[in-house]
A and B are shown apart, each in its own frame.
Chain A
Amino acid sequence: DIQMTQSPSSLSASVGDRVTITCRASQGISNYLAWYQQKPGKVPKLLIYGASTLQSGVPSRFSGSGSGTDFTLTISSLQPEDVATYYCQKYNSAPLTFGGGTKVEIK
């Protein structure tokens, strides 16, 4: 099965900083990659699908890129409401594996 590895596992950044989270697949998955945001105590929310397509209603400071095995989620200007854990997920074929998550905090 394809493994999904996220890095870093946690990060602390200042408001307004550019934040980048990486997700690596152990084999190529084309662009079948989604990103989710889970705020503390809340349900996961879809941010991006197809590696780079922003889900409706998601702020434009979020963006995704990549194809094949290497993917990136970028927050262009970190806001206090972005404190959350972010997960990538592959969905090219089952199992639809999630990455281990990246916890984002404000410095």
Chain B
Amino acid sequence: EVQLLESGGDLIQPGGSLRLSCAASGFTFSTYGMNWVRQAPGKGLEWVSIISGGGGTTYYADSVKGRFTISRDNSKNTLSLQMNSLRAEDTAIYYCAKARGYSSSSADYWGQGTLVTVSS
């Protein structure tokens, strides 16, 4: 059974940094791309970033480019999102989501999400 468990969400001041993690199990982690998708309170889904199965290719939404860094440790089946220079508009539930393929594709499994609140 595929399981994705996010952690690291917190209340953080504007300008601060936070690192989210996603522990994956139940599938061959290195074979699949992994996404971060966020959802601000009461709003729709916003794709944030994707990393290929081997970790060599990454893409970002313009809204986070230069501030967020996605990475993965295939030896530990873990996905991470380093978030710097956080803004109020980054407040959201952050989901990690498994891609159906090695890189860009639809997301077939989602974690329960971790809440990031950026506020002073």
Contacts and interface: CB of A to CB of B under 8 A. Distances in A.
Q: Do A and B come from one complex?
A: yes
Interface string B85-116: 00000000001010010001111101111000
B104 A92 contact: yes
A35 to B, nearest CB: 9
B45 interface: yes
B59 A95 contact: yes
B46 interface: yes
B11 interface: no
Contact of A89 (B59, B106, B113): B106
Contacts of B45: 36, 38, 44, 87, 89, 98, 101
A49 B44 contact: no
Contact-residue size bin, chain A (C-beta under 8 Å from the other chain): 20 to 34
A90 B50 CA distance: 13
B58 to A, nearest CB: 9
Q: Is the interface of A mostly helix, strand, loop or mixed?
A: loop
Interface residues of B, number: 23
Contacts of B107: 34, 36, 44, 46, 89
A62 interface: no
A87 B60 CA distance: 20
Given A96-B47, A98-B45, A91 B111 contact: no
A101 B106 contact: no
B47 A89 contact: yes
A43 B62 contact: no
Choose among B46, B95, B110 the residue with the greatest number of A CB atoms under 10 Å from its CB. Answer: B110
B57 to A, nearest CB: 9
A96 to B, nearest CB: 4
24 contacts: A34-B107, A36-B45, A43-B112, A44-B45, A44-B95, A44-B97, A44-B107, A46-B107, A49-B106, A87-B44, A91-B104, A91-B106, A93-B104, A94-B50, A95-B62, A96-B104, A97-B47, A98-B37, A98-B44, A98-B45, A99-B44, A100-B44, A101-B44, A101-B45
